[in-house]
Amino acid sequence: MASGLSLEILDLRHFAAPALRPLLEAESAVWRERLNWDYLSSAKLLLQYLDARTLPGYVALDAGRVTGYIFCVYEDSKAVIGDVFAHNLGERHQDGHLKPEAVEVETNLLRHMIELLLNSPGVDRIESQLLLHPGGALGDVFREAGFDVHRRLYLRRSLAGPPLPRPPSLPSQLEMRPWQDSDLVAAGRLISEAYRGHTDSLINDQYRTVHGSAFSRTSCAFPAAEPFLRRPRTWLSNGATGSWWDCCLARGSVRNADTLPRFAFTRPFAGWVWAGRCFASPHRNSSARV
């Protein structure tokens, strides 16, 4: 190894939770620092999978010390690379770049994972969104293996900034009310329709089907999202006829931030502005026909 590392890559299922705990704690700190996300619940879930020895992936050992890991999950013929992390990822040079050792470990792990999946006859599709890793990082590894790579942006909006205007009035036939569990199938139908032919449905094929949209298995593929599912906060509007018009799905909150990972509209972007503004509206938790 050019960096002097003495890396050994082993199957993740050889390792139980105690061996990975320090690594996951270090990763949780990076999630908190970089994205203001509480990763501890997700880490706890991962540790449970590790103890069950059911999580496919690899561990990187440097001189016998666990220094990185990667895992994936299978969904039928699709594999999702959920995360890759190296121990000193959080330690950066003054210019903000990762240390070469961390890059080397993550690159090595990712290449192993990709090679395994590409050579798995039952795998016809591989997806990955490595949210923690800054733009450009590891992109070349994916491209070299024949992946299409799409840049995604993480946006933040302070509620202490410019005041959010009051939501505009809705057309009389629309109703806005909080999410109900019974809305799941209708939301799935709306989302799959709205995302037909959309770039995001190329990135995540769950958007292409009603079932996939309604029951996002993101919680398994990407554990960082898992705690969000426990506290859904969703606003939606439907027509007087009962057919859906727009919906806005929000899952949060983690520490002091709410995350809106997905929303869909049956007409382009209509309603999003007021839906977003509703978060700051004093009426946000009330059913309303406007």
Partner 1 sequence: MTELTLTVTEANTHAVELYFDEHYSMTHSFNAAVWVRPER
- Which residues contact partner 1 (rule: CB under 8 A)? 34-36, 81, 118, 123-139, 142, 145-162, 198-200, 202-204, 252-253, 256-261, 268-269, 272-273, 276, 279
Whether residue 120 is preceded by a cis peptide bond, meaning omega within 30 degrees of 0, is no
Look at residues 99, 103, 95 and name the one whose alpha carbon lies nearest to residue 130.
103
- Considering the complex, what minimum distance in angstroms separates the CB of residue 16 from partner 1? 30
- Considering the complex, what minimum distance in angstroms separates the CB of residue 9 from partner 1? 20
- Considering the complex, what minimum distance in angstroms separates the CB of residue 106 from partner 1? 13
- Considering the complex, what minimum distance in angstroms separates the CB of residue 288 from partner 1? 19
Is 228 within 8 Å of 251 (Cβ atoms)?
A: yes
Return the SS3 of 124. coil
Rama region for 128: left / alpha / beta (φ>0; ψ in -120 to 50; rest): beta
Is 228 within 8 Å of 131 (Cβ atoms)?
A: no
Rama region for 96: left / alpha / beta (φ>0; ψ in -120 to 50; rest): left
Is the CB of 41 or the CB of 253 nearer to partner 1? 253
Is the CB of 163 or the CB of 242 nearer to partner 1? 163
One-letter amino acid of 73: V
One-letter amino acid of 161: G
Is the CB of 52 or the CB of 149 nearer to partner 1? 149
- Considering the complex, what minimum distance in angstroms separates the CB of residue 25 from partner 1? 21
- Considering the complex, what minimum distance in angstroms separates the CB of residue 211 from partner 1? 20
CA separation (Å) from 190 to 65, 98, 175? 48, 41, 16
Is the CB of 28 or the CB of 62 nearer to partner 1? 28
- Considering the complex, what minimum distance in angstroms separates the CB of residue 73 from partner 1? 15
How many CB atoms lie under 10 A from the CB of residue 133? 20
Is the CB of 64 or the CB of 135 nearer to partner 1? 135
Is the CB of 11 or the CB of 140 nearer to partner 1? 140
Is 8 within 8 Å of 61 (Cβ atoms)?
A: yes
To the nearest 10°, report the CA torsion of 171, 175, 176, 181: -150
Look at residues 30, 54, 27, 57 and name the one whose alpha carbon lies nearest to residue 43.
27
Is the CB of 85 or the CB of 279 nearer to partner 1? 279
